[in-house]
Structure 1
């Protein structure tokens, strides 16, 4: 069973959940895929700044405190930073000596049976049709180093509440938000191998392929054959 949700999360839900209930119609499925005996990494696609709220709602209502790995700069924002720390959110210091601290904090949460929510792309997708793009390898590394399952969670509809890179919300009429949790990603062939860039890239691509396939089912459309790669000139595929 998941650890009991702390009081701080329940207090935050009193404020946030009524807004989500009033502005979204929820089509949720796949909850039977959550492990009931250990912590797990929940990975999701990232289209809009509303995604963390809809993903948190999904996790919370299924008995899991939504712990996110979030960029460290958010923790410096007055009030917001205090709230994030109070809810055991994990600051990520990219490209600094403190980068490892995020993994250590996340592993501590996983060890006690909690979930960690990660958007592997690291930022909102740049794909013009909002398909998942090439992802960072951090979630795969954490899963393989510490032998924890990765649960892919595909969502679609949150972008209607808040368009990508927009600050203009559109709460009414209510938007349908579809969220689906899939079975744990099969990473067995990568476990026990040296975690070099080839292994991490392959494991990450496996995770994102699962997530993209689930999103194809939700949308009833086919994703591009190659994910958007921001490293390429012009950000093209």
Structure 2
């Protein structure tokens, strides 16, 4: 386990403290609304979390990336944004539509974040926006569970299939990420905020998932039906669960906790809260 500073050096292939390849230039032009987000998020994440990364170098510094992560807290985007930024990328999150209200919502939209109207027909437009973002070569963060896990022990719950749509209809590198720690600051289950500085927060970045065979089937005409989307979703989330087990040093339970409510048949996913 390495701290955030030495992890950035390891990502570069150099010694501790070295900058990862392209840390600044790969971020490209940063518009003013995004700078506003960075000015808020970066120091807050640094104060709240003592971030510890494993294999940060597995996140490509260029090209389209779909980062698939488990969801343990409403504060996940703060810590994950710092993770991605430390790798020299700009994260674009799919987040629930209620976050995009007022001035803050205007800034988030201008900063490239993507609202999701869950359980509605307009959710498909969110996937289209995320797909366009990936096709433009950006990095998109998605939480396939669609909401903070309801599992009492913080293991991933049943995921929706929106992430699978994106993974199968783009050429993005699909990177599974396990995280554990933000729930110690905000416990979604009890709705309690436990403000403390530098809470240990761990990330394990997995090897990219090879979806070439399934993508070839889709290009050959296989429909994006429920069995295919569920197969792809389970493949991604199994990787995340195994990484989380490694991160926590304990085996994942055999059963997967069910998600809340009754998801739409097309399984639109991806909110950041």
If the length of structure 1 is used for normalisation, what is the TM-score?
A: 0.90
Distance 1:59 1:36, change over 3 A: closer
Q: What 5-or-longer segments of structure 1 have no aligned partner?
A: none
- Root-mean-square deviation (CA), in Å? 2.1
Q: 1:96 aligns with which of 120, 127, 131?
A: 120
**What is the CA-CA distance between 1:141 and the residue it aligns to?**
1.2
Q: What 5-or-longer segments of structure 2 have no aligned partner?
A: 1-21, 263-273
Question: 2:18 aligns to what?
Answer: none
1:6-58 alpha-carbon deviations (Å, 9 max, x no partner): 13323322222222222321211212211244211111111111111111110
Distance 1:124 1:12, change over 3 A: same
Question: 1:32 aligns to what?
Answer: 57
**What is the CA-CA distance between 1:147 and the residue it aligns to?**
2.5
Tell me, yes or no, if the aligned pair for 1:3 and 1:113 is still in contact at 8 Å. no
Does the residue aligned with 1:100 lie in a helix, a strand or coil?
Answer: helix
**What is the CA-CA distance between 1:221 and the residue it aligns to?**
0.9
What aligned pairs does 1:1-237 form with structure 2 within 5 A after superposition? 2-4=26-28, 6-7=30-31, 8-75=33-100, 77-165=101-189, 167-193=191-217, 194=222, 195-230=224-259
Q: Distance in 1 between matches of 2:141 and 2:57?
A: 17
**What is the CA-CA distance between 1:5 and the residue it aligns to?**
5.1
Tell me, yes or no, if the aligned pair for 2:51 and 2:79 is still in contact at 8 Å. no
- Give aligned pairs, total: 232
Tell me, yes or no, if the aligned pair for 2:175 and 2:207 is still in contact at 8 Å. yes
Q: Distance in 2 between matches of 1:129 and 1:204?
A: 21
Tell me, yes or no, if the aligned pair for 1:3 and 1:112 is still in contact at 8 Å. no
If the length of structure 2 is used for normalisation, what is the TM-score?
A: 0.78
Tell me, yes or no, if the aligned pair for 1:27 and 1:178 is still in contact at 8 Å. yes
Runs of 4+ in 1 over 6 A off after TM superposition: none
**What is the CA-CA distance between 1:232 and the residue it aligns to?**
9.4
Tell me, yes or no, if the aligned pair for 1:49 and 1:165 is still in contact at 8 Å. no
